[in-house]
Amino acid sequence: MKNQSSVLKFFFIVLALLSFSGCTSKELYESTQPKYTENECRKLPPHQYDECINQEAKTYEEYKRERQDIVDKKG
């Protein structure tokens, strides 16, 4: 019984790892970025509304370039 439990745990861990490996870095980045719609911005107080509407998320390419610049400076 204990051995069967270990096999099941191993199977689920491998399955989870395979699932996550299907996502590219770009997909992962884009899925974690906030997506503000005008309706969501309307729920905010007036002084935050303008900020919300004008907010532009960085593209993955901009993020990757900035990240690489930081990595290069450290190295």
Select from 30, 32, 36 the least CA-distant residue to 56. 36
In-domain check, residue 18: no
- Does 38 fall in a domain? yes
Q: Is residue 5 part of a domain?
A: no
What value does the mean pLDDT of the chain take? 79
**pLDDT at 72 exceeding the cut of 90:** yes
CA distance 39 to 48: 13
pTM over 0.75: no
Give yes or no for residue 16 having a pLDDT over 80: no
- Going by pLDDT thresholds of 50, 70 and 90, the confidence category of residue 22 is low
Q: Is 6 inside any structural domain?
A: no
Q: Could you list the residue range(s) of the whole structural domain that residue 45 is in?
A: 24-75
In a domain, 63, yes or no: yes
How far apart are the C-alpha atoms of 45 and 28, rounded to whole Å?
A: 31
60: nearest Cα among 19, 31, 21: 31
Q: Looking at per-residue confidence, does 67 or 14 come out higher?
A: 67
pLDDT at 9 over 70: yes
What pLDDT was estimated at residue 68?
93
For residue 4 the two structure tokens come to 């069967």
Q: Is 11 contained in some domain?
A: no
Q: How many domains does the chain have?
A: 1
Q: Is residue 39 part of a domain?
A: yes
